[in-house]
Structure 1
Amino acid sequence: MIDYKELIPADFASDSRVWVYQSSRLFMMSEALHIEDLLNNFTANWNSHGSPVKGYGNLLFGQFIVLMADERATGVSGCSTDSSVRLIKQIEQLFNVNMFDRQMLTFQVKDKVQMLPLNQLQYAIDNNFITPDTLYFNNLVQTKEELVNNWLIPVKDSWLAKRVSLSL
């Protein structure tokens, strides 16, 4: 697995706002290149009330779109957040994927990204497909600091630990 932390811009404040969107499937290389262009174009033109937003967008692990806004220069308002959601909806339509399914969980299993519906998590744990130490993509992170430190965490350290019975 690549170390995604090296891809996060160092010149963004640690409290920069982050949005993580998970695709319902891995993107093909040609799609990933198209998405990279869309993200670069979006962040280059991202504005809030006419002022440029210091933004970052990237496709990580071929499946997660991460958008980040450093609000030290320009705060992100409802309109500029809406424009980012429109971009994600455009990507959904272009590539026939779901980017808003919060019931689908993603884990790193044997150096691969594996998806699992929330309602099958207990079964996966009971059958040792998922262990307390399996790395979970916690897409609820909201800041750059959380993205760097708490995005990929063991199941036992995530909110999932309260939802299931873990045999430690």
Structure 2
Amino acid sequence: MTENYKELIPAGFAADSRVWVYQSSRLFMLSEALHIEDLLNNFVANWNSHGAPVKGYGNLFFGQFIVLMADERATGVSGCSTDSSVRLIKQIEELFKVNMFDRTTLAFLLKDKVQMLPLAQLQYAIDNSFITPDTIYFNNLVQTKDELENKWLVPVKESWLAKRVTLSM
């Protein structure tokens, strides 16, 4: 399951293409996912920076993560074009009554399902073996296509979380 998402990332984008990952507070229903796909496709088709089209990509991964990508080798993404992407995400929040900007809730892959956990409960989850050093963590702080492909889904022990908690190996 974890490797399949890479097949959806377009090959024609530079490795240093900018990436933004937005995590929903819940899994989207199929009808919502289809609506989001339309919104993303429409946004990317019309994404501009200072009047120049942005080579962009948008997709919903695992039914819960919206990924936007811009290949800045073609057109740089400035404040206004970034703001337009944030407006899209806020529109999605409002339409579907979800939170897309909560950075204190973490996502893990447990038994092939995305499971959410508040950061404040992480040590408890580790101490009680709900989360192990090898549990896959969604590192939504990735910033490039290369990082999305290689550092988005990582074991907890290889993530920034390892410095925040005590892991028993």
Secondary structure, aligned partner of 2:73 = coil
Q: TM-score, normalised by structure 1?
A: 0.99
The C-alpha deviation readout for 1:93-140, integer Å capped at 9, x for no partner, is 000000000000000001110000000000000010000000000000
Alignment length, in residue pairs? 168
Question: 1:89-108 to 2 correspondence within 5 Å?
Answer: 89-108=90-109
What is aligned with 1:34? 35
What is aligned with 2:56? 55
Question: 1:75-86 to 2 correspondence within 5 Å?
Answer: 75-86=76-87
Query: Where in structure 2 are there 5+ consecutive unaligned residues?
Result: none
Q: TM-score, normalised by structure 2?
A: 0.99
Q: Partners of 2:31 and 2:103 in 1: how far apart?
A: 26
Question: 1:6-155 to 2 correspondence within 5 Å?
Answer: 6-155=7-156
Q: Partners of 1:82 and 1:16 in 2: how far apart?
A: 17
Query: Where in structure 1 are there 5+ consecutive unaligned residues?
Result: none
Give the alignment's Cα RMSD to 1 decimal: 0.5
User: CA offset at residue 159 of structure 1?
Assistant: 0.3
User: CA offset at residue 44 of structure 1?
Assistant: 0.2
Q: Partners of 2:59 and 2:31 in 1: how far apart?
A: 15
The C-alpha deviation readout for 1:33-67, integer Å capped at 9, x for no partner, is 00000000000000000000000000000000000
